């Protein structure tokens, strides 16, 4: 899929072009040692890339993180929690408990 130039606005205000390879690296890290078919990772990255292109030409890092979280939630709950722990800057077990409860509710 060809993607026009989409700019990601980072939390600190910096801007950089959207990079699907960064999404892939983050997703693969979250999926480490999980029984997920590599084709599913390709599909997830393509899904996020398509949603980014619809949201562009500028998207915040928070919006991008939510897109990745939503895709991971559908794919693997453990990977979702791993990604969320970094993305949402978990400070302890209570943060995991809160996120797990939200997974069960949603």
Q: Please write the tens of the pLDDT for every residue from 14-40.
A: 999 999 999 999 999 999 999 999 999
What pLDDT, on the 0 to 100 scale, is given for residue 56?
78
Round to whole Å and give the CA distance between 6 and 57. 4
Treating both helix axes as pointing N-terminal to C-terminal, what angle do 20-30 and 61-75 enclose, rounded to 10 degrees? 40
pTM given for the model? 0.86
Q: Give the H/E segment covering residue 60.
A: strand 58-60
What pLDDT, on the 0 to 100 scale, is given for residue 2?
47
């Amino acid at each position: 899929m060809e993607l026009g130039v989409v700019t990601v606005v980072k939390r600190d205000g910096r801007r950089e072009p959207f990079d699907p390879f960064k999404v892939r690296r983050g997703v693969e890290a979250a999926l480490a040692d999980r029984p997920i078919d590599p084709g599913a990772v390709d599909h997830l990255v393509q899904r996020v890339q398509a949603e980014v292109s619809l949201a562009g030409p500028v998207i915040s890092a928070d919006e991008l993180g939510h897109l990745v979280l939503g895709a991971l939630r559908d794919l693997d709950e453990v990977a979702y929690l791993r990604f969320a722990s970094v993305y949402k800057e978990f400070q302890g077990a209570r943060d995991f408990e809160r996120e797990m409860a939200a997974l069960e509710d949603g």
